[in-house]
Amino acid sequence: MVRIRMSEPYVGKEEIANVTESVRTKMRSDPFVPEFESGFAKYIGAKNGVSVVNGTAAIHLALAALGVKPGDEVIVPTLTSIGCTNAIALTGAKPVFVDSNAEYWCADPKSIEKRITKKTKVIMPVHIYGHPCDMDPILELAKKHGIFVIEDAAEAHGSEYKHKRVGTFSDISCFSFYGNKVITTCEGGMCMTNSDELAEKMRILRNQGTKPEYKNKYYYDMVGFNYRMTGMQAAVGVAQLKRLDFLVGKKLEMARQYNEIFDAKSKNVVRAPQMEWAKNTYWYYSILVPKKQREKVMQALEKKEIETRPFFYPIHMLPHYNTGDKLPVAEDLGFRGINLPSGPYLTSEQIDEVATEIIKITG
């Protein structure tokens, strides 16, 4: 039986040729790093791309560039990757958790508004599983209170809010290129910003606090990190960029097929959101099932060699982040949600098999 995986990287000859070239040229980062940065920034529609080692580092770098420090608060949805909160914790700031919107599962602007205090430095909306946040009310709140916005678009390459790609709405946005993302560099991340000043600061911070062009190679302007993306990672990224439209198209077609089956045959499965103001690129195709059936569904699929993932565990309920908050929508979604196989090699027959197995249990 062939195992149906969540997702596998779509790589071929071009990625291998580029990596070979990178190694042959003694793994100097040029020319792949700037080519990947400018190519991805152009695709997203942002002025500057600053590549880093992974998506968590991208968030940490963005927070550091905005001067987030101990005593500050950063508003973040509880239903998200642990990378968001770990990056906040690394700055010494306090993550302040907010609830999800029941319809589209991203941070709810009303919940954000309630948690703004004098200490709030950043709001971090996360475009969860590929569906965009409702950015207008979030940007309005940020403007009203003088707060920065960092969009986490790790899972949303090519998604759109009101016909504009996500990653272009905030002071800095962050992407991940981990192996399961729409395009990958094995591990990798990138910050996007329209501000030349912030881009310059992030380039210095990712490079131990110095600039490559300094005459004295051991002169540093500030405390920094070693977060530079390698030439080999960027070499893969440059080849992946050429596949980006194709891979987004594959996601949309996959979602269309899952939607069609669930709409026609299921009464009890709530399918992945698609608000009228959004273009979801379905990084993971996600569903909600009745809470008491989730384990049964996941186990039945596993028996058939079909991989699934539960939704993110609400972070405010983890012992080391527990705040005692009650965030009922996220707590409900977190224990009802299942991410289904969503990779580019998935066939129509496999999509049919996955959906049919689920509907056998849930109806």
Least distance (Å) between residue 126 CB and ligand PLP: 5
Q: For residue 253, give the DSSP letter.
A: H
Which of the stretches 20-28, 97-105, 147-155, 240-248 binds ligand PLP when contact is defined by CB under 6 A? 147-155
The least CB distance from residue 25 to ligand PLP, in Å, is 26
Short-list 280, 273, 251, CA closest to 342: 251
Among 80, 101, 266, 339, binds ligand PLP (CB under 6 A): 80
The reply on whether position 48 binds ligand PLP by CB under 6 A is no
- Which residue sits closest to ligand PLP, CB atoms considered? 55
Judged by CB under 6 A, does residue 176 bind ligand PLP? Answer: yes
Q: Which is nearer to ligand PLP, 126 or 329 (CB)?
A: 126
Positive/negative CA dihedral, 201, 203, 208, 209: negative
| Among residues 52, 64, 84, 248, the one that binds ligand PLP under rule CB under 6 A | 84
- Measured in whole angstroms, the distance separating CA 227 from the mean position of its chain's CA atoms is 18
Binding positions for ligand PLP, 112-141, rule CB under 6 A: 126
CB of 89 to ligand PLP, least distance (A): 14
Pick the piece of the chain touching ligand PLP (CB under 6 A) from 41-49, 78-86, 227-235, 347-355.
Answer: 78-86
Angle in degrees, 0-180, between the axes of helices 294-303 and 348-362, rounded to the nearest 10? 140
Minimum CB–partner distance for residue 294 and ligand PLP (Å): 20
Nearer to ligand PLP, 232 or 359 (CB): 232
Q: How far apart are CA 255 and CA 37, in angstroms?
A: 29
Give the residue with the Cβ less far from ligand PLP, 54 or 170: 54
Residue written as token pair 């409702």? 134
Work out how close the CB of 58 gets to ligand PLP at its nearest, in angstroms, rounded to a whole number.
7
Among 9, 39, 49, 55, binds ligand PLP (CB under 6 A): 55
Q: Does residue 68 contact residue 74 with C-beta atoms inside 8 Å? A: yes
Q: End-to-end CA distance of the chain, in Å?
A: 25
DSSP 259-276: HHHHHHH-SSPEEPP--T
Distance between CA 67 and CA 87 in Å, rounded? 13
Question: From CA 195, how far away is CA 183, in angstroms rounded?
Answer: 25
Window of 49-57, 137-145, 158-166, 317-325 that interacts with ligand PLP by CB under 6 A: 49-57
* Count of beta carbons in the 10 Å neighbourhood of residue 20: 12
Q: How far is the CB of 287 from ligand PLP (least distance, A)?
A: 18
Quick one: which of 77, 95, 109, 189 contacts ligand PLP (CB under 6 A)? 189
CA distance linking residue 204 with residue 266, whole number of Å: 53
Contact pick of 56, 170, 293, 342 for ligand PLP (by CB under 6 A): 56
Q: Which of 273, 81, 288 is closest to 175 using CA atoms?
A: 81
Return the residue matching tokens 């080999």.
Answer: 232
Q: Which amino acid, residue 68?
A: V
Q: Is the bond preceding residue 273 a cis peptide, omega within 30 degrees?
A: no
Stretch touching ligand PLP by CB under 6 A, among 148-156, 215-223, 224-232, 236-244: 148-156
Q: Does the footprint of ligand PLP cover residue 85 (CB under 6 A)?
A: no
Least Å distance, CB 87 to ligand PLP, is 8
Specify the amino acid at residue 85: T
Establish if 333 lies at the interface with ligand PLP (CB under 6 A).
no
Strands (E) across 156-250 are located at 160-161, 164-165, 172-176, 189-193
C-beta of 108 vs 362, nearer to ligand PLP: 108
Helices (H) and strands (E) in the chain, counts: 12, 14
Sole binder of ligand PLP in the list 154, 288, 346, 351 (CB under 6 A) = 154
227 binds ligand PLP per the rule CB under 6 A = no
Give residues in contact with ligand PLP (CB under 6 A).
54-56, 80-81, 83-84, 126, 152, 154-155, 176, 178, 189
